[in-house]
Structure 1
Amino acid sequence: EFKNYLNDSFKFDDKISLLYGNVLEFKETQAETFRVIHEDCRRSCWRFMTIFEQQTRLFTRALQGVFEHFFIDVWINTPPEMQQNYFQGITDSVEIVFGAFINFNRVIHNLSWFKACEDDFNTFFGDIMGFFYSEQEYKRAVIYSIYALQKVHQFNKFDLNTMEQHNLSVISLISQNDKKLSKYISDQPAQTISCFIFQYVNTFFLHNTNNIQLSVKLVKLQLNLNTKGIVHFIQTIISACSRAYAPDLFNEPTLLRISDENKLQIDLPNISGIEILSHCVNHVMQLDANSVIICDMLDQFEKKYKK
């Protein structure tokens, strides 16, 4: 379904010429960028384990190896001004595109090609084209991923000043639209609040869920929304999740909830605005039972703010 959406949404020009990177050369010549990409890829692809529950951790580590190679092919084809700046988390949107085109069974049948340990994977230097359905499908995946990165770039420009402005916009919307939450965070240092908002602005919540349906909808929304819509959506999700995280504090009805295990960890009498900001979205979005409700929220936002 997501592949069909991409095919319908983006014009594919088969005449576009792409560079396919030498991963070893990239690792040696752009060591620092490679290091950060590898760190991002180490935490990628776990959401696909929800589809292939019978597979071992090696399956995910193998996917990470293919994804890292794939992402480098994407990255070296982005405009030079983008390649000068890499922010952790920008692999998230590309990961969902990758999942729409990869042939998972070919990875499963060739796990012996990959090496990994408990907490890391070895970079895969071989040809990854065979893990996709065809060379043209691979090319589509790379081009659509470039489009996705360009949309992320359009939103934050890989520029700290621009990102900080978006952070301030979210904080301003909380102040305007959510007086209760604003009261709980108003006594905290502005820079501290901004740091917690930053993690949501930059990653668009994709770090916070392994639910495939929700992940796909988040990427679609990221591609479709204008800047105003994205900022409003971030504020709305934070407000909704804060009520699920500390319902007794807000004393408002909410359809969202957190796990009983996480409830036991909350010291409600001593809870702070910083704790609400830092934990509420993680706890709510990681609970699979909330995904349908959040997807409905996404649909409403898409109708309201789509360009």
Structure 2
Amino acid sequence: MQQRDQFQIFRHFFEQKFSNIPSKKINMENEAYKQLPPKMIKQISVDVARGLWRFYPLFQLPIDSCQVLQQIFVRFFLTLWINLPQHLQQKYFQSVTDSFEVVFAAYFRFENFDLFFSAFDVDKETVVDFQLVFEKPEKVFHLSICWAIHLADKTDFNLSFFTRVGKKVIYWMNKDKIVHKVMQYMNDDEMSGFLMKHTVSCCLHSTRSFRLSVILTQAMMCLSFDNQAKLIARLTLVGARVYSPHLFPIDDPGYEQKFKLAIERVPEQCEDLTYTINDILTHALDELLKIKENENVLIELIKEFVDNN
């Protein structure tokens, strides 16, 4: 499927999800974001500098254009954030930007990118004209604000909430009797902390695949957090079973062959079983999500789960 088709599907889903919410006046003035605390502005800028990489191959952007795209996204996200209720603005945390990367890319007018690239100076503050960035900027900001508030209503933008989600992930993994025998070696509190990278963004932070990012963002938007925890548990166990079939066996002879591996499988003889199990459960899924050849299998798995929940 072409990326523009994938974007169109996402936009349709996103607009159906939030467009019926009444719109409020949105402040899109170029310096509106400066009302945010300088420390927050700096932190968001640093966090975004780690992001958007999943979208560069789609549009064959030269490497020196990366900073320009990041700076435009920074301005988009800061403008979105200043339009949130003040009590939510103060609750920013790293990884909250991940799902908004998909929104940004789905609506961004890449045909205008050369205009930005020629005018943008990453060492100076440049005026960002959102009329050039998006075809209908008010609509994009309205939908994005609705998504941010919806996410805040569920999580209160509180990291302790995601720790609880991590414990729910562990609960769902323990429902499998074989996995339960392995999990007895683990400390639930430590494990829920290790799983934080998956729970805060529904695994988005671990993939550079555009297609997986879109599917995971949609899952994040439409699943309850109980079902989101169940999905993360299922994906985590997929990684564990592929990389360590002797510890996490499954009655499916062809299961391991469905996936490509980036690293070797874990050997059957382990000196430190607790360390090995921890390493598998926290890193195996990351490795699966990195590999392009695994996209289709993982997308089908996620779609099937969302359709049934």
Instruction: Return the offset for 1:251.
Output: 4.0
Q: Which of 277, 284, 290 is the aligned partner of 1:273?
A: 277
Query: 1:188 is matched with which residue?
Result: 186
Query: 2:304 is matched with which residue?
Result: 300
8 Å contact from structure 1 (residues 68, 123) kept in 2: no
SS in 1 for 2:172: helix
State how 1:24-43 maps to structure 2 within 5 Å: 26=34, 30-43=37-50
Query: 1:250 is matched with which residue?
Result: 248
Indicate how the Cα distance of structure 1 residues 24 and 225 shifts in structure 2: closer, same or farther if over 3 A, else same.
closer
**Aligned-partner Cα distance in 1 for 2:87–2:195:** 25
Indicate how the Cα distance of structure 1 residues 256 and 241 shifts in structure 2: closer, same or farther if over 3 A, else same.
farther
RMSD: 2.5
Indicate how the Cα distance of structure 1 residues 164 and 208 shifts in structure 2: closer, same or farther if over 3 A, else same.
closer
Indicate how the Cα distance of structure 1 residues 12 and 74 shifts in structure 2: closer, same or farther if over 3 A, else same.
farther
State whether structure 2 residue 195 is matched by structure 1 residue 197: yes
Instruction: Return the offset for 1:60.
Output: 2.1
8 Å contact from structure 1 (residues 284, 290) kept in 2: yes
Indicate how the Cα distance of structure 1 residues 193 and 22 shifts in structure 2: closer, same or farther if over 3 A, else same.
same
Which is worse superposed, 80-89 or 124-133? 124-133
Q: Post-superposition, which runs of at least 4 consecutive aligned residues in structure 1 deviate over 6 A?
A: none
Q: Deviations over 1:256-284 (max 9, x none)?
A: 4343x4227x5653361110122111100
Structure 2: runs of 5 or more not aligned: 1-7
Structure 1: runs of 5 or more not aligned: 117-121
State whether structure 2 residue 13 is matched by structure 1 residue 5: yes
Instruction: Return the offset for 1:221.
Output: 1.2
8 Å contact from structure 2 (residues 33, 78) kept in 1: no
Instruction: Return the offset for 1:159.
Output: 2.0
Q: How many residues are treated as equivalent by the alignment? A: 293
8 Å contact from structure 1 (residues 66, 128) kept in 2: no
Q: Which of 87, 102, 125 is the aligned partner of 1:96?
A: 102
Instruction: Return the offset for 1:153.
Output: 1.7
**Aligned-partner Cα distance in 2 for 1:200–1:73:** 26
Q: Which of 223, 226, 238 is the aligned partner of 2:224?
A: 226
Letter in 2 for 1:153: A
Q: Percent identity among equivalent residues? A: 22
Query: 1:132 is matched with which residue?
Result: 133
Please report the TM-score for the alignment, with normalisation by the length of structure 1.
Answer: 0.85
State whether structure 2 residue 283 is matched by structure 1 residue 285: no
8 Å contact from structure 2 (residues 98, 204) kept in 1: yes
Please report the TM-score for the alignment, with normalisation by the length of structure 2.
Answer: 0.85
Instruction: Return the offset for 1:287.
Output: 0.8
8 Å contact from structure 1 (residues 66, 124) kept in 2: no
8 Å contact from structure 1 (residues 167, 194) kept in 2: yes
Instruction: Return the offset for 1:151.
Output: 2.9
Instruction: Return the offset for 1:124.
Output: 4.7
Indicate how the Cα distance of structure 1 residues 133 and 175 shifts in structure 2: closer, same or farther if over 3 A, else same.
closer
Instruction: Return the offset for 1:286.
Output: 0.9
**Aligned-partner Cα distance in 1 for 2:203–2:34:** 29
Instruction: Return the offset for 1:33.
Output: 1.3
Q: Which of 52, 65, 68 is the aligned partner of 2:59?
A: 52
Q: Deviations over 1:167-204 (max 9, x none)?
A: 21111111123x44443343233332111111111011
SS in 2 for 1:19: coil
8 Å contact from structure 1 (residues 229, 301) kept in 2: no
Indicate how the Cα distance of structure 1 residues 42 and 180 shifts in structure 2: closer, same or farther if over 3 A, else same.
farther
Indicate how the Cα distance of structure 1 residues 208 and 256 shifts in structure 2: closer, same or farther if over 3 A, else same.
farther
Letter in 2 for 1:71: F
Q: Which of 83, 92, 111 is the aligned partner of 1:105?
A: 111
Instruction: Return the offset for 1:163.
Output: 2.3
Letter in 1 for 2:269: P
Indicate how the Cα distance of structure 1 residues 26 and 267 shifts in structure 2: closer, same or farther if over 3 A, else same.
farther
Indicate how the Cα distance of structure 1 residues 165 and 50 shifts in structure 2: closer, same or farther if over 3 A, else same.
same
8 Å contact from structure 1 (residues 185, 274) kept in 2: no
Query: 1:119 is matched with which residue?
Result: none
